[in-house]
Amino acid sequence: MSENSLNKQTNKIQKRLQMQDIAKLAGVSTSTVSRALNGSSLVNEETRLRVTALAQSLNYSIDIGAQNLRLKNNKTVAVVIPFDSANPQHVSDPFFLTMLGHIADELSMLGHYMLVSRISADNLTAVLEPYESGRAIGIIVIGQWRYHEQLNAMVANKPIAVWGAKMPNQHYVSIGSDNLRGGYLATEHLIKQGRKRIAFFGNKDLPEVAQRYAGYLMAHQKYDLVADQQLSIPAPFSADTVSADIESLINQSISFDGLFACSDLIAMRAIGTLQKLKISVPEKVAVVGYDDIVLAAYFHPSITTIKQSIEVGAQSLVKALFNIINHEKISSEQLDVSLVVRESSIN
Amino acid sequence: MSENSLNKQTNKIQKRLQMQDIAKLAGVSTSTVSRALNGSSLVNEETRLRVTALAQSLNYSIDIGAQNLRLKNNKTVAVVIPFDSANPQHVSDPFFLTMLGHIADELSMLGHYMLVSRISADNLTAVLEPYESGRAIGIIVIGQWRYHEQLNAMVANKPIAVWGAKMPNQHYVSIGSDNLRGGYLATEHLIKQGRKRIAFFGNKDLPEVAQRYAGYLMAHQKYDLVADQQLSIPAPFSADTVSADIESLINQSISFDGLFACSDLIAMRAIGTLQKLKISVPEKVAVVGYDDIVLAAYFHPSITTIKQSIEVGAQSLVKALFNIINHEKISSEQLDVSLVVRESSIN
DNA sequence: AAAATTTATGCAATCGTTTGTAATAAATAT
DNA sequence: ATATTTATTACAAACGATTGCATAAATTTT
């Protein structure tokens, strides 16, 4: 212990082993070591085995900085999560986190690392920083993006894939579900159950939510119903205000018999609040959620939700990004993740 | 569009700007550019402004690979999530994900990046790879670690911080909650409600769970109860088997009036199953969960759980790691995250 | 057996920064 | 007016890998 701390003070930190050292010990040149370690056919089999065994036994591992400097391929993809500087909330949204998990799965399956960074929305240029600095070979952006214009101006022809709504005239590849259709499906599901006054809980400032709302209106039109403006509540995905919003509706005697929640969190919170107010679900008010996060399945009673497969979304994002990186195809088309109305359950 | 694809085929990718280019344009040497960009006092104020402005306007950013090769400081911490090669499940456990989110918050607050990698448990040496290769300056390991011995042999004096139970004779720094106490608190809570036959749902192969079970036994002893072996069910955190387990207990007529679940997922699943079987909660069977994941708060009826603050845990992990890195203190003490029995709710 | 080919290895340049040291110009002291 | 100090800047050597090219040894061909 004391020897240790002495070490720390007097000597430099124990020098990292490098190729030169391995080379010296193996009695070959560094070129040979490099080739051996990378399985080049230019090195004798016997030598290769000897060198790799030596390297292994000495616990040597290639310096990634140096390698990257030469090769410009660092096997790393950055996932950027923007946040509002106004309320720099934590990364706690289960949708984000689940997406993050699936992206991690997908990337590690492809032998890549995932670099996570959070950036403030008012420092948008930072989105590309991990790529520009050579930290990552590409960028995945998750999060409802409020600043489409700025993003659009910045990222043309860069290796970037965005989760979110398709916007008019967009210069980047985005993957997302068809929010218009999702909104339509959810609303139709409620209408088919005979609901006539359907509350919409979601913040229409977000493009994705706006599109869902359009679907909501479309369903109303299709079934000859009119949507009451008063029933549109700008609730954030995190559902913080939902209890108060519902109570407020009831206090104002604004009646409703259906509720379309733009996230499962909102749905869960709404159901909880309604039950607390002794309004039976689904008898008095039917609720449909959105996302189908894993936890929704554990909720009791089970909730009906618009399933957008986060796993498929993650896979598509990764695939799209690699396509761009490999120049296989550059398109600004949106890939759609299929949507299903379903009762959330564990399978 | 066609011009674009042509470009892709004929030209190399547009060469990255480098210091040399900036230097040439600014009419100075690269050293000066480097110093200007890093705010060195060895460069004239006027020059500095001119150079930084130029770099900014050209959207130049320092190549991280080259910089890292020189400086050995890449501002990156790796978070390693081990998984069982037997069942390579997805990163979907909400506890993991929440932890991941908080670590990301904490690191980004400190101006660092988070690198996520999943490794197979039978390739343990890979834990240190991100550090050994110079990809990251330190490692955080999350996850119930089944292979304490191997880990222990490998990581002495390396910059690594582990989330988990404290093990005898450990050579690494670990952060975790006092599982013994947690198990005790949960059980005591049930006993104080008059419960006498308390089922334990958790896989004792995991050190953390084993410690909780010890706490469970301790509480029994304290209150002069005997724990029935038959009531100890090896349920995984993910709760997949919980429904079947409960039904099996009931079919075998093994009665119980309390249930201590080692994760909130288990608790939620158990409550759902019991309700489905018309066994009222908490009247007939009282349930206590563990973790206090965010979503538990949305569950209805609200569930009682042992709160271990994941946020505090994440902060402690990061802090401990930086302490090691900065040689501020190397200790193999465990830092405890405080525990509270509480009804999960949104605040 | 000599020439041509194949196989295995080493040399040295390179990737894009940072930084110790030397060089120059400007400012101050003698 | 000269010597000394101070402020800027440039030069060139690292950092640790990869790889085109040259070379030497082993093999095959003629």
The DSSP letter of residue A17 is P
| Residue A72 near residue A27, CB atoms below 8 Å | no
Same domain for B94 and B57, yes or no, is no
> In this complex, is the C-beta atom of A63 within 8 Å of any C-beta atom belonging to chain B?
yes
pLDDT score of A296 more than 60: yes
Are B48 and B194 part of one and the same domain? no
Of A72, A90, A271, the CB nearest to B300: A271
Would you tell me which residues 83-122 of chain A have a C-beta closer than 8 angstroms to some C-beta of chain B?
90-92, 94, 96-98, 100-102, 104-105, 108, 113-118
**In sequence order, what DSSP letters do the residues of A284-307 get, joined into one string?**
T-EEEEEE--GGGGG-SS--EEEE
pLDDT at A288: 94
Residues A211 and A252 in one domain: yes
Query: Binning pLDDT at 50, 70 and 90, where does residue A8 land?
Result: very low
pLDDT of residue B347: 41
For residue B347, tell me if it sits in a domain: no
Task: Return the pLDDT at A162.
Answer: 92
- pLDDT at position B330 is 52
> CB distance A330–B8 less than 8 Å?
yes
Q: What is the CA radius of gyration of chain A?
A: 26
In this prediction, what percent of chain B has a pLDDT beyond 70? 89
A113-120/A138-141 β-pairing? unpaired
Could you identify the residue whose CA is nearest to the C1' atom of nucleotide D15? B70
B60 to chain A nearest CA, in Å? Answer: 8
User: Lowest mean pLDDT: which of A12-26, A183-197, B17-31, B111-125?
Assistant: A12-26
Residue B91: the pLDDT is 66
d(CA B297, CA A101): 22
Rounded to whole angstroms, how far apart are CA atoms B87 and B236? 12
pLDDT given at position A21: 95
pLDDT of residue B89: 59
Average pLDDT over every residue of B212-231: 97
Arithmetic mean of pLDDT over chain A: 86
B13 confidence band (pLDDT: 50, 70, 90): very low
pLDDT of residue B42: 93
The two tokens of residue A124 are 């948008």
Q: Are residues B291 and B317 in the same domain?
A: no
B343 occurs within a structural domain: no
Determine, yes or no, domain membership for A193: yes
Using the predicted structure, report yes or no on whether residue A249 has a pLDDT greater than 60.
Answer: yes
CA distances from B3 to A158, B8, B9, B10, B11 (A): 16, 9, 10, 11, 11
pLDDT at B135: 93
**Would the pLDDT of B133 be above 50?**
yes
With contacts defined as CB-CB under 8 Å, which chain B residues touch A62? 133
Q: What is the pLDDT of residue B11?
A: 36
Whole-number pLDDT of residue A66: 94
pLDDT in tens, A101-133: 999 999 988 989 999 988 887 878 889 999 999
What value does the CA radius of gyration of chain B take, rounded to a whole number of Å? 26
CB atoms within 10 A of CB A148: 18
Mean pLDDT lowest for which of A109-113, A341-345, B149-153, B181-185?
A341-345
pLDDT-derived band at B6, boundaries 50, 70, 90: very low
CB-nearest partner of A65 from B16, B69, B100: B69
What pLDDT, on a 0 to 100 scale, did the predictor assign at position A211?
Answer: 94
Mean pLDDT score of chain B, rounded to an integer?
87
pLDDT of residue B2: 34
Does any domain span residue A343?
A: no
Identify whether B91 is part of a domain: yes
The pLDDT value recorded for residue A195 is 96
Interatomic distance B46 CA / D7 C1' (Å): 13
Per-residue pLDDT at B87: 61
In a domain, B22, yes or no: yes
Minimum CA–CA partner of B69 in chain A: A65
Instruction: List all nucleotides in chain C with at least one atom under 7 A from a protein Cβ.
Output: 7-12, 14-20
How far is residue B9's CA from residue B16's CA, in Å, rounded to a whole number? 18
B149 has a pLDDT exceeding 70: yes
Average pLDDT over residues B114-137: 88
Considering only the beta carbons, identify the residue of A61, A97, A275 that sits closest to B132: A61
Which residues surround strand D, with CB < 7 Å? Answer: A 15-16, 18-20, 30-31, 34-35, 37-38, 62-63, 65-67, 69-71; B 27-32, 35, 42-45, 47, 66, 69-70
- Here the tokens at position A334 are 């949106």
As for how many domains chain B has, the answer is 3
Residue A24 sits in which domain range? Answer: 2-62
The size of the A-B interface in CB pairs under 8 A is 168
Alpha-carbon torsion angle A232, A235, A237, A241, nearest 10: -150
List CB contacts of A40: < 8 A, sequence separation 6 or more. Answer: A34
Integer Cα distance of B164 and B179 in angstroms: 9
CB A85 within 8 A of CB A148: no
Cα(A47)–Cα(A23) distance, integer angstroms:
11
Which of A5-14, A75-84, A121-130, A143-152 has the largest mean confidence? Answer: A75-84
Q: Determine the Cα–Cα distance for residues A164 and A123; give it in Å rounded to an integer.
A: 19
One domain, residues A216 and A250: yes
Distances, alpha carbon A55 to alpha carbons A19, A60, B122, in Å: 9, 5, 20
Q: Are residues A219 and A303 in the same domain?
A: yes
**Which chain B positions have a beta carbon within 8 Å of A65's beta carbon?**
65-66, 68-69, 72, 74, 134
Would A33 be classed as within a structural domain? yes
Cβ contact, residue pair B98, A92, below 8 Å: yes
CA of B32, C1' of D3: distance in angstroms:
29
The mean per-residue pLDDT over the stretch B41-62 comes to 94
Residue B125 has pLDDT above 90, yes or no: no
Tokens for A55, please give them: 């390297």
Rounded CA–C1' distance between A7 and C21, in angstroms: 30
Q: Which residues of B touch A66 (CB under 8 A)?
A: 65, 69
- Per-residue pLDDT, averaged over A77-102, amounts to 81
Residue of A nearest to B71 (CA): A65
Query: Is B269 close to A298, i.e. CB distance below 8 A?
Result: yes
pLDDT greater than 70 at residue B12: no
The reply to whether B302 and B183 lie within a common domain is yes
Nearest to B264 by CA among B94, B121, B86: B94
> Are A214 and A297 in the same domain?
yes
**Residues A298 and B265: beta-carbon distance below 8 Å:** yes
Percent of chain A topping pLDDT 70: 88
pLDDT digits (tens, 9 = 90+) for B296-329: 777 767 789 998 888 899 999 999 999 989 876 5
B50 CA to C26 C1', in Å? 21
Q: In Å, what is the separation between the CA of B54 and the C1' of D5?
A: 33
Which residue's CA is nearest to the C1' of nucleotide C14?
A: A70
Model confidence band, residue A14 (pLDDT cutoffs 50, 70, 90): low
Asked if residue A70 is part of any domain, the answer here is no
Phi, psi of B161 (to 5 degrees): -130, 135
3-state SS class at B226: coil
- In chain A, the percentage of residues whose pLDDT exceeds 90 is 57
- Percentage of chain B with pLDDT > 90? 57
Here the CATH number for the domain that contains residue A301 is 3.40.50.2300
Instruction: List bases in chain D with any atom under 7 Å of a protein Cβ.
Output: 7-12, 14-20
Burial label, A113 (beta-carbon count in 10 A; 0-12, 13-18, 19+): buried
Per-range mean pLDDT, top range of A17-21, B86-90, B164-168: A17-21
Statement to judge: residues B216 and B294 lie in one domain: yes
- Å: B59 CA to C27 C1': 37
In this structure, the answer to whether residues A217 and A284 fall within a common structural domain is yes
Does the pLDDT at position B67 exceed 70? yes
pLDDT of residue A91: 67
Tokens of B216: 């469970």
Are B281 and B263 in a shared domain? Answer: yes
CATH code assigned at A22: 1.10.260.40
pLDDT of A305 above 60: yes
Contact B135 A114 (CB under 8 A): no
Residue ranges near strand C (C-beta within 7 Å): A 27-32, 35, 41-45, 47, 66, 69-70; B 16, 18-20, 30-31, 34-35, 37-38, 62-63, 65-67, 69-71
Which residue do the tokens 């607390």 mark? A276
Structure tokens at A53: 């065994």
Residues B40 and B103 in one domain: no
Distance CA B236, CA B142 (A): 16
Kindly determine whether residue A61 and residue B346, on different chains, have CB atoms separated by under 8 Å. Answer: no
pLDDT, average across residues B49-60:
94
Q: What stretches of A19-175 show up as alpha helix (H) in DSSP? A: 19-26, 30-37, 45-57, 64-71, 94-109, 129-132, 148-155
